[in-house]
Amino acid sequence: PTARERPARLPPQAVPGVFSAGLDITEMCGRSEERLAEFWRAVQELWILLYGSRLATVAAINGSSPAGGCLLALSCDYRIMADSRKYIIGLNETRLGIVAPFWFKDCLVNTVGHRAAERSLQLGILYSAQEALRIGLVDELVPEDKIQARAAEVMAEWLAVPDHARQLSKSSLRKHAVDHLLMHREADVQNFVCFVSRDAIQQSLQRYMEGLKQKKA
């Protein structure tokens, strides 16, 4: 079946060339305020669990990783990206007229530093793998066919450190950003619902969906 005919709730499938395409735009189009709020709480929850995880996490980025996909990669402890000219990564929300939520920003600043985050977010830059490496958005590049093996090696390094010391160090570095969201969680939900419900945003999401359908047809 084509993507359009598929029921909405099938488990996600690996799409060649894509690590994660980010948030599911169909969840933002023509939905009730309750549903939008529920969706956004789930996105927050995912980030809180991943960014705040006690486990060591390594992202093996074997495809493009825009917007929410970039956030998932940023939330891991270490990022390995396939050294391919085809793949891009970045928080490009601004280009669609969307302001990345403050916790996306916190997570980016904590990874690449303030200056690089300023350029990255204001311009909504999508980086090539090489550029992403240069600004520290990813930690290393490897040939695509080596990515899983290299990720396993890196994971072994992280796991060689005594768990409790690694976990406490991680949490002391990340707690501030996680608490920031926990403290303003409902306001962030309201902000998202209010923004996404606006006519102009709904129209632009609709146009975007039409564009996607035409590409797939």
Ligand X SMILES: *[C@@H]1O[C@H](CO)[C@@H](O)[C@H](O)[C@H]1NC(C)=O
Binding residues for ligand X, rule: CB under 6 A, are 14, 16-17, 62-63, 66-67, 92-93, 95-96, 98, 126, 148
Q: Is 92 or 120 the residue whose CB approaches ligand X more closely? A: 92
Q: How far is the CB of 145 from ligand X (least distance, A)?
A: 9
Under a CB-based contact definition with an 8 Å cutoff, are residues 89 and 61 in contact? Answer: yes
- Active-site residue, from 68, 69, 90, 124: 68
- Select 23 or 166, whichever has its Cβ closest to ligand X: 23
Rounded least distance, CB 212 to ligand X, Å? 8
Indicate the residue among 42 and 96 with the shorter CB distance to ligand X.
Answer: 96
Taken in order 151, 153, 159, 165, the sign of the CA dihedral is negative
Q: Which is nearer to ligand X, 19 or 174 (CB)?
A: 19
Q: CB of residue 156 vs ligand X: minimum separation in angstroms?
A: 17
Minimum gap (Å) between residue 14 Cβ and ligand X: 4
Per the residue annotation, which of 69, 92, 124, 141 is the catalytic one? 92
Q: Known catalytic residue: 68?
A: yes
Tell me how far apart the alpha carbons of residues 158 and 204 are, in angstroms, rounded to a whole number.
43
**Phi and psi at residue 6, in whole multiples of 5°?**
-65, 140
User: Could you tell me which residues are beta bridge partners of residue 80?
Assistant: 60, 140
Contact 84, 210 (CB under 8 A): no
Active-site pick, 63, 93, 124, 126: 93
Least Cβ distance, residue 177 to ligand X (angstroms): 21
92 catalytic, yes or no?
yes
Q: What is the DSSP string of 173-200?
A: HHHHHHHHHHHTHHHHHHHHHHHHHSHH
Per the annotation, the verdict on 168 as an active-site residue is no
Cβ pair 59, 78 in contact under 8 A: yes
Given the complex with ligand X, which of 148 and 206 has the nearer CB atom?
Answer: 148
Residues pairing with 79 in the sheet: 59
Establish whether 93 is a catalytic residue. Answer: yes
Closest residue by Cα to residue 70 from 34, 112, 40: 112
Of these residues, 23, 55, 133, 212, which one is catalytic? 23
In whole angstroms, what is the distance from residue 110 CA to residue 123 CA? 18
Residues belonging to the active site: 23, 68, 92-93
